[in-house]
A and B are shown apart, each in its own frame.
Chain A
Amino acid sequence: MMPLEVEHLRTAYGPVVVNRDVSLTVHQHEIVTILGPNGAGKSTLLRAISGLLRPRNGVIRFDGKKVTGRPAAQMAALGVVMVPEGRHIFPDLTVQENLRLGAYCRKDRDAVEEDIRLMESYFHVLATKRGAKGSNLSGGQQQMLAIARGLMARPRILLLDEPSLGLSPLLIKDVRAVIMDVRAKFSAAVLLVEQNAGLALAVADRGYLLQHGDIVASGVIAELRDNRLMHELYLGHGRSGKASIRGNQ
């Protein structure tokens, strides 16, 4: 059974085409990454899958059912949940309210309360900051809250958009552990979009390399790591270059 299949997806903002023809799959309990330099169309692809952006063409299937063009609220209810780039914590809501909203589409109220306890025991900071407003959390804390909020929906697949963005190397290590646990402890598949190749290659089973909106390489991580294009793309982009690929092996 394949939870998520994307076939020949085409996305655009107005007249500007971003992804021309993208196909990918994420199997159950798999961690798959989409890599690529800034502006490669990774986030747009994720927005289309999450339902925030209506694709121009192509098919998205979830559990074998066609879900192309469904609005984000419906996708979340189906179990396809995105944690957006930049966290997007609701600033005026408390940490606990943020968590509770994550479970908005669930009907099992009692289990939701249990899950809040579960998140608080897993992410300790959320317990200590329970009543604090979202805006009073640090970047790293907000990222943990954003992932926990996504997990509150009990997703079948979690779409993570640049979870390492703006975090210190130490915090990125935490994020890495959390992503591994999304699968292990919360039994969800993960589709991870990352500019930080080191992080992505360290956690993912498989990956797709995106350039100018289209997939230019794909495969299991060991293959992808040695791919010539991969090195060219990341060498050509200074800061997130070769060092970060090697650095986290």
Chain B
Amino acid sequence: MEIFIQQLVNSLSVASVTILIGIGITLIFGLAGIVNFAHGEFLMVGGMITWFLVTSGLNFFAALLGAMILVGALGFIAERGLFRFTLERPMNGFIMSIGMSVILQHVVIRIFNEVQKTIPDPIGKVWVIGGVDIIAMRGVVVALTAVVVAITYFGISRSRYGMALRASIADQDTAALMGIPVRRYVTGVFVYGSVLAGLGGALMIALFPITPFTGSVVIIRGFAVSLIGGLGNVGGAVGGGLLLGLVDGLSAGYGFPEWTDAYSLVVMIAILIVRPQGLFGGTLGPRST
């Protein structure tokens, strides 16, 4: 039982990182139809920035904020400078994002190197809850993600901006007729997704070592999560992330660690064939008349 609970917390902390990246992917695709394969590299860059700042002597949580801001800025530049021009041709944007992901990997290798990076556990404590040892940082990762998920969810379902965002995802042209500046929402969502990727990278390096190639693994899982949940559906991404995280974590914990990635991708493929719109219902991309 103790091992089960530890595995559960471990799974949840891994799921957290996947959920953070999945929310960005699902919103960006749902609203703009952009399949951004470089989103995983955004996370990797966030981890690298965190590593750099922490090894330069900064407090981890300050470094985390720095990573969120800088990756957010990277997202802003990518959207305004690149993806804006391929909105009409999503396939071109997709190919471009693959190119961008390779370029970002090499830029990071050029600036630092290709060796994996780690930081010391930022909290370095173990909580004993009901007789079970839990690494405190993992609990913090889960808690921070829960807060972000709650803010995102209520922002989208309750606020005026969230309502306009849902309308834009459903029907861009009609949203524009209401006076909603859809293009600005595209930028906003892209930057928000990038900020979450930066956060995900910072949290990830607090748990595991990362390399310049971490992004390409993470992105597949991020897409799996958003596809399982239904593209454009934030709640779906969270559900999908939890599902994958638990499948992963528990399979790793119970003797089949080498199969971990395969399980989640088998789940994704099966769901895409049986329910193309995802488990919880999503969009098939932006619609316009």
Query: Which residues of A pack against B, CB within 8 Å?
Result: 50-52, 71-74, 76-77, 81-84, 86, 88, 90-93, 97, 100-102, 104-105, 149, 153
B-side interface mostly: helix
* Pick from A51, A71, A83, A93: contact of B167, CB under 8 Å: A93
Known A-B contacts A93-B166, A97-B163; the reply to A88 vs B178 at CB < 8 A is: no
Q: Which among B164, B167, B177, B182 has the greatest number of chain A C-beta atoms within 10 A?
A: B177
Asked if B163 and A84 make an inter-chain contact with CB atoms under 8 angstroms apart, the answer reads no
Asked if A104 and B174 make an inter-chain contact with CB atoms under 8 angstroms apart, the answer reads no
Whole-angstrom CA separation of A24 from B163 in the bound complex: 36
Select from chain B the residue with minimum beta-carbon distance to A152. Answer: B178
Whole-angstrom CA separation of A81 from B178 in the bound complex: 8
A residues less than 8 Å from B120 (CB atoms) = none
Q: Is B179 an interface residue (CB 8 A)?
A: yes
Select from chain B the residue with minimum beta-carbon distance to A85. Answer: B289
26 A–B contacts from the bound complex (CB under 8 Å): A50-B177, A72-B176, A73-B180, A76-B176, A76-B177, A76-B179, A81-B177, A82-B177, A84-B174, A84-B177, A88-B173, A88-B174, A88-B289, A90-B166, A90-B170, A92-B166, A93-B167, A93-B170, A100-B163, A101-B164, A101-B167, A101-B175, A102-B178, A104-B160, A104-B179, A149-B178
Asked if A101 and B176 make an inter-chain contact with CB atoms under 8 angstroms apart, the answer reads no
Asked if A153 and B179 make an inter-chain contact with CB atoms under 8 angstroms apart, the answer reads yes
Whole-angstrom CA separation of A93 from B167 in the bound complex: 8
Whole-angstrom CA separation of A19 from B164 in the bound complex: 32
Please give the distance in Å from B186's CB to the nearest CB on chain A: 12
Asked if B163 and A52 make an inter-chain contact with CB atoms under 8 angstroms apart, the answer reads no
Asked if B170 and A52 make an inter-chain contact with CB atoms under 8 angstroms apart, the answer reads no
Select from chain A the residue with minimum beta-carbon distance to B289. Answer: A84
Select from chain B the residue with minimum beta-carbon distance to A87. Answer: B174
B residues less than 8 Å from A86 (CB atoms) = 289
B residues less than 8 Å from A91 (CB atoms) = 170
Please give the distance in Å from B62's CB to the nearest CB on chain A: 38
A residues less than 8 Å from B289 (CB atoms) = 84, 86, 88
